[in-house]
Amino acid sequence: MNTLSKYVLSIIALLFFTNCGNNTSDKSGALNASKAEKVYVAPGEHDEYYAFFSGGYSGNITVAGLPSGRLLKEIPVFSQFPTSGYGYSEETKPMLNTSFGFVPWGDAHHPDISQTNGELDGRWIFINENNTPRIARISLATFETEEIIELPNSAGNHASSFVTENTEYIVAGTRFAVPNPQRDMAINEMKGEFKGPLSFVSIAENGRMNLEFQLNMPGFNYDLAHPGRNKSHGWFFFTSYNTEEANSLMEVNASQNDKDYIAAVNWQKIAEYVKNGGGEKVAGTYAHNVYDDKTHMATSTMKEGVTMVDPREVAGAVFYIPIPKSPHGCDVDPSGQFIVGSGKLSTDLSVYDFDKMITAIENKDFVDESYGIPVLSYENTLAGVVTQPGLGPLHTEFDGNGNAYTTFFISSEVVKWSLETFEVLDRQPTFYSVGHLMIPGGNSRKPFGKYLVAMNKITKDRYLPTGPELEHSAQLYDISGDKMELLSDFPTHGEPHYAAGIRADIIKDKSKKYYELAENEHPYAAKSEAEAKVTRDGNEVHISMTTIRSHFMPDNIEGVKVGDKVYFHITNLEQDFDVPHGFSIIGANTSEILVMPGQTKTIIWEPKREGVWPFYCTDFCSALHQEMQGYVRVSGRNSDTPLKYTLDE
């Protein structure tokens, strides 16, 4: 029987199976009412969990509450965000700087929350960027992006950003093997020439990221990763596809090998090796951007050089484990014992046993070698196989009670199975074509195990139609019982590849309400109305302006000329929760800025025409918000109108 007919048969079998499942679903009013109660959060009440959804091609993160699914915020990370001025304001433009110059957009994939002793600690959330390989760190006190580090010598940073259990390291992968170092060469000569570097970024106590080393792996496509935890702490596991090393018509040519690899990497050993002077200093230019919430400014530093480690040079550190058919997800259970590999073209799930893997390594139970890296035996590392659970397995999460939950893209379902017997316990349809799933804390030693969110790639008819382009859809399941129960649908912004969830009480009381004005160290901050001023330096005009309900100081400015470069440095003098002021002026070729209490933000305005031009507050701040406005008089290029700024003159 060829592969195709196998698939057709399995699809038919599965359709039959899922249809049987559907028949049991009860649509009675009483049942729906009890489901409604489970997701109902009364007005003024708070959700039990924060859920951070990657925005995929939006480049950002959206924050929702669970179980309600209500959207709480969008955090700009890799993409410009005119709503707040992120990436437009002079202070935040450096955040989007890269070795390729300013990149206004990113493709955000996998958020992961910082951990201590394998449990979520709620200090930061990290997220990777696929297109221009980067990792960002976001503060969970301010919900602002504080740091972005670029990964050189890499392409397609998909196997990222996953943190080790004490937030020692965060990893980045290479999904598109490339010449390393980059050079001009024929594409079809890639075999053996392209590389797939894996980057290890350390996290300091204060959150600062540092690119410690890159592991120069053979040029397969490293797709996803997870750190070992508990007993397997110290290891990292990466799935790879395209061990065929095909470079064209990949959908066919990268799907030929019966098995691809999971790379098992002992990062502790390699870190030790590097600490002792191992590895080679190679070229690699990358931007490191840091935002300071005292100066309210980001700085971008271009760094040069990286330590490259040849995996063959570190004894006992890197191994390949065979896995059927182009694996995608690679997930480690809370005990660290089991590593679940999802061959996305396979109908089975392979579950590996960490202890067996260690034994196989000790016994040198190798079946092959790939570019000098030992390949372990599939059979002798296997804990078990979940047979025929569905079609197109992608990702697995855990509830902490001995159960695993795997998504199946092709058969559009989430399947619950036992980590003890590897038997399927339950299945629920998703709508439609689920990618990742998320159980809050499911990526730690202690999952919270109450809800499961399925993130679907295809929406179709789930909501009122909105033209050809639809938001993606998520589904919330209650997994506290033996059987999963679908509770609700809610739309999500962009393409949430993955999400991270955390119990709200771990972070909500630490959430910052405003910035202390007294601690504002912005060089152009006016910390009181008396400090407001306008200064000219050649054709640059710097306006240090203040806002407080409901006026600007100054609100009338004269002496600006056509051709000037006018910097509006707006300081919000408010020291109260939720009183931002916005700023915009007619003719500005940039976005507005939304300035939080105690904060200073800057936009540039280059007036092109003489006249009197109004500016105003863009955020409905107060009863007299409409009156919160002012004028700039712009005179001719060679005029001698004196510089003058006033309020209530």
Partner 1 sequence: MKSASILMILGSALLLGLFIFPLWSISLEAPQYPSGIGMNIHLDGLEGKEKHDLQNIDGLNHYIGMSKLPKSDEMWEFTVFPMVVGGMALVGIIIGVLGFVKNISPKWFLSWLILMLLLGVLGMYDFNAWMVDYGTNLDPKAIMKMTDADGNPLSYKPPLFGTRHILNFVAHSFPHIGAYMMAFGMFLTLIAYWLGIKKLKSATL
Q: Which of 585, 627, 601, 593 is nearest to 545 (CA)?
A: 601
Is residue 494 within 8 A of residue 446, CB to CB? The reply is no
Q: Which of 34, 173, 181 is nearest to 485 (CA)?
A: 34
State which residue, 377 or 622, has the beta carbon closest to partner 1: 622
Is residue 631 within 8 A of residue 557, CB to CB? The reply is yes
Residue with tokens 């499911």: 442
Give least dist CB 513 to partner 1, A: 9
Q: What amino acid is encoded at 598 in this protein?
A: G
Listed in sequence order, the residues at least 6 apart from 630 whose beta carbon sits closer than 8 Å to its beta carbon are 552, 554, 555, 556, 557, 614, 615, 616
State which residue, 508 or 549, has the beta carbon closest to partner 1: 549
Q: Which of 168, 324, 303 is nearest to 235 (CA)?
A: 168
Q: Which of 94, 599, 103 is nearest to 299 (CA)?
A: 94
Listed in sequence order, the residues at least 6 apart from 350 whose beta carbon sits closer than 8 Å to its beta carbon are 323, 324, 340, 341, 343, 378, 382, 385
Give least dist CB 576 to partner 1, A: 5
Give least dist CB 575 to partner 1, A: 4
Give least dist CB 282 to partner 1, A: 51
Give least dist CB 89 to partner 1, A: 25
Give least dist CB 550 to partner 1, A: 8
Give least dist CB 574 to partner 1, A: 7
Q: Which of 440, 429, 456 is nearest to 400 (CA)?
A: 440
Residue with tokens 């109004």: 614
Give least dist CB 340 to partner 1, A: 45
Residue with tokens 């061990």: 243
> Radius of gyration of the chain from Cα atoms?
27
Distances (CA, A) of 449 to 163, 391, 441: 20, 25, 8
State which residue, 300 or 550, has the beta carbon closest to partner 1: 550
Rounded Cα–Cα distance for residues 354 and 141 (Å): 36
Is residue 251 within 8 A of residue 355, CB to CB? The reply is no
Rounded Cα–Cα distance for residues 469 and 530 (Å): 51
**Binding residues vs partner 1 (CB under 8 A):** 548-549, 574-576, 623-624
Give least dist CB 98 to partner 1, A: 39
State which residue, 492 or 547, has the beta carbon closest to partner 1: 547
For the chain, the residue count is: 649
Q: What amino acid is encoded at 329 in this protein?
A: G
Q: What amino acid is encoded at 201 in this protein?
A: V
Q: What amino acid is encoded at 396 in this protein?
A: T
Give least dist CB 499 to partner 1, A: 29
Q: What is the side-by-side strand order in the sheet with 393-398?
A: 393-398, 403-408, 413-418, 424-429
State which residue, 255 or 575, has the beta carbon closest to partner 1: 575
Give least dist CB 548 to partner 1, A: 7
State which residue, 370 or 575, has the beta carbon closest to partner 1: 575
State which residue, 469 or 509, has the beta carbon closest to partner 1: 509
State which residue, 189 or 576, has the beta carbon closest to partner 1: 576
Give least dist CB 489 to partner 1, A: 31
State which residue, 35 or 549, has the beta carbon closest to partner 1: 549
Is residue 283 within 8 A of residue 181, CB to CB? The reply is yes
State which residue, 230 or 575, has the beta carbon closest to partner 1: 575
Tokens representing 599 are: 């904060």
State which residue, 493 or 549, has the beta carbon closest to partner 1: 549
Q: Which of 162, 245, 203, 236 is nearest to 444 (CA)?
A: 162
Is residue 389 within 8 A of residue 336, CB to CB? The reply is no
Helix (H) or strand (E) holding 129: strand 119-129
State which residue, 187 or 623, has the beta carbon closest to partner 1: 623
